[in-house]
C-alpha cells in the first residue's frame, strides 16, 4: 500500500480581497483586512465597504474564477492511493495502524464536537444527567464529554486491534499438552491399539485463562468499532 494525500489547496481569491489590497490605504480596506477579534469599541468604528465595491466585485468575479482555474492546473490536488494485493488479505489489520494515529491526532487538535446520542454513552454522560440548559438551543453540559467518551472508545478498540498483548493480562501458567491414544468412544487405550488420538492436559500444565474477563474487553472493543461506524461523519476537526 502506498498513499500520498497532499495538503488541501484553496486557490480561490475573492474579488473583495483584490479590492481590499488594491485600495490598502482606505479605512474600509484596513477594517476588512483586520482578522483580529475586535473589541466593542472597534466594532462601533468599523467601516463597511462602499457600495461601488460590491458592484466591482461582481465584475471581477470572472477574473477570480480564471485565476482559480489556472492555479488548480498548476498546483492540482494530489491524491495517490495504490493498493497491493496483500493489503486486503486482512484488511482490518491493514487499516487499523492508519486509523489509530488519526484518531489520536483528532482528539488532540479538535475544535468542536459532534452530536452523540444518549443511548451510546454511560448514564452520567447523558443529556438527561446534565444541569438544566439556560436556553433550548444551548448544548448541554455533557455535550463535549460525550464526544470525548466516543473518541476514547474508538481509540481503545483500534489500540487493541493493532496490539493484542492486552490478552496476556487474562492468561497465566504454562501449557503442557499430550496426545493420548483413545478408542472411538474417547477411552484411553494402549499405544498401538488405537486409531484415534486426543489432546489432553499433561501433568505439568498450569495454564489458566479468564475467558469471562476477555469477553468483557472484547465487547468493549466491538462497541468501539460500532461507534466508529455510527459516528464516522463526526470525524472532523
Chain segment 50-104, per-residue pLDDT in tens: 999 989 999 999 999 999 999 988 888 888 889 999 999 999 999 999 999 999 9
Q: What is the pTM of this model?
A: 0.72
Confidence band (pLDDT; 50, 70, 90) for 198? Answer: confident
Q: Could you tell me the CA-to-CA distances from 16 to 19, 23, 52, 70, 72 in Å, in that order?
A: 5, 11, 11, 19, 20
In this model, does residue 194 exceed pLDDT 80? Answer: no
Residue 23 makes CB contacts below 8 A (sequence gap 6+) with: 29
The residue extents of the domains of the chain are 1-82, 90-237
Gap between the Cα atoms of 212 and 156, Å rounded: 19
Mean of pLDDT values over 182-208? 83
The H or E element containing residue 72 is helix 51-74
DSSP structure class, residue 118: G
Gap between the Cα atoms of 77 and 122, Å rounded: 42
Amino acid at each position: 500500500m502506498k498513499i500520498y494525500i497532499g495538503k488541501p489547496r484553496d486557490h480561490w481569491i475573492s474579488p473583495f480581497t483584490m479590492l481590499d489590497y488594491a485600495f490598502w490605504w482606505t479605512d474600509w480596506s484596513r477594517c476588512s483586512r483586520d482578522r483580529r477579534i475586535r473589541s466593542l469599541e472597534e466594532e462601533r468604528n468599523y467601516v463597511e465597504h462602499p457600495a461601488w465595491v460590491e458592484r466591482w466585485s461582481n465584475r471581477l468575479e470572472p477574473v477570480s474564477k480564471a485565476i482559480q482555474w489556472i492555479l488548480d492546473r498548476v498546483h492540482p490536488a494530489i491524491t495517490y492511493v495504490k493498493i497491493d494485493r496483500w493489503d486486503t488479505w486482512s484488511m482490518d489489520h491493514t487499516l487499523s495502524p492508519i486509523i489509530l494515529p488519526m484518531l489520536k491526532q483528532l482528539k488532540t487538535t479538535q475544535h468542536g464536537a459532534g452530536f452523540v446520542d444518549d443511548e451510546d454513552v454511560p448514564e452520567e454522560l447523558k443529556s438527561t444527567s446534565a444541569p438544566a440548559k439556560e436556553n433550548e438551543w444551548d448544548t448541554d453540559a455533557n455535550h463535549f464529554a460525550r464526544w470525548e467518551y466516543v473518541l476514547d472508545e474508538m481509540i481503545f478498540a483500534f489500540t487493541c486491534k493493532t496490539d493484542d498483548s492486552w490478552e496476556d493480562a487474562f492468561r497465566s501458567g504454562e501449557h503442557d499438552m499430550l496426545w493420548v491414544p483413545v478408542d472411538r468412544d474417547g477411552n484411553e487405550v494402549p499405544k498401538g491399539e488405537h486409531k484415534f488420538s486426543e489432546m489432553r492436559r499433561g501433568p505439568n500444565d498450569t495454564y489458566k485463562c479468564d475467558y469471562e474477563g476477555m469477553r468483557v474487553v472484547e465487547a468493549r472493543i466491538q462497541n468501539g468499532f460500532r461507534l466508529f461506524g455510527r459516528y464516522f461523519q463526526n470525524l472532523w476537526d
